[in-house]
């Protein structure tokens, strides 16, 4: 899933505003005239045309934004199998496993690279010693202690 851009987020915010106004029955655009409509009339062709044009402008401004913003939230962030959010919490709270991982990372961050380097050096040394012993055995040269 592609991460939404700032333009995508802005377009989604405008869509939320538009849909919120419509859901309350309001004419969702600023009134430029004193006698302009206050309420949306779904039977009025001019209102429907304005709604269509507004939606088309949003989709032209940020093509594909609903999938990145809404789809990303629904199918990535909120998808239980991804274990990003806490399934027991009604709010957007991190999954307990993520919280535990972040706590562990914080506790071990300072020693992480040195420990990784030490483990890598030990693995390389062990591999070299094993290869040298194997080659000596293959050449039938006795190993001196």
What are the extents of the domains in the chain? 6-78
CA–chain centroid gap for 44, Å, is 40
Burial class (CB within 10 angstroms; exposed 0-12, middle 13-18, buried 19+) of 125 = exposed
Residue 65's contacts (CB-CB under 8 Å, 6 or more residues apart) are 4, 7, 8, 11, 12, 58, 59
pLDDT per residue over 93-142, tens digit each? 999 999 999 998 888 888 888 888 999 999 999 999 999 999 988 888 66
Q: Show contacts of 66-72: CB within 8 Å, 24+ apart.
A: 66/12, 66/15, 68/1, 68/2, 68/3, 68/4, 68/5, 68/8, 69/4, 69/8, 69/9, 69/11, 69/12, 70/12, 71/1, 72/1, 72/2, 72/3, 72/4
End-to-end CA distance of the chain: 59
pLDDT per residue over 3-61, tens digit each? 999 999 999 999 999 999 999 999 888 766 667 788 999 999 999 999 999 999 999 99
pLDDT at residue number 11: 96
- pTM, two decimals, is 0.64
């Amino acid at each position: 899933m592609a991460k939404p851009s700032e333009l995508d987020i802005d377009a989604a915010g405008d869509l939320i505003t538009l849909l919120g106004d419509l859901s309350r029955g309001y004419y969702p655009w600023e009134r430029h005239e004193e006698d302009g409509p206050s309420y949306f009339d779904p039977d009025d062709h001019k209102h429907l045309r304005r709604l269509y044009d507004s939606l088309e402008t949003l989709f032209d401004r940020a093509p594909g934004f609903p999938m990145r913003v809404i789809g990303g939230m629904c199918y990535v962030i909120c998808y239980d199998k991804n274990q990003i959010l806490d399934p027991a919490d009604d709010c957007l709270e991190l999954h307990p496993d993520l919280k535990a991982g972040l706590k562990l990372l914080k506790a071990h961050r300072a020693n992480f690279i040195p420990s990784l380097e030490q483990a890598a050096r030990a693995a390389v040394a062990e591999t070299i010693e094993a290869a040298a012993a194997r080659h000596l055995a293959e050449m039938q040269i006795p190993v001196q202690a």
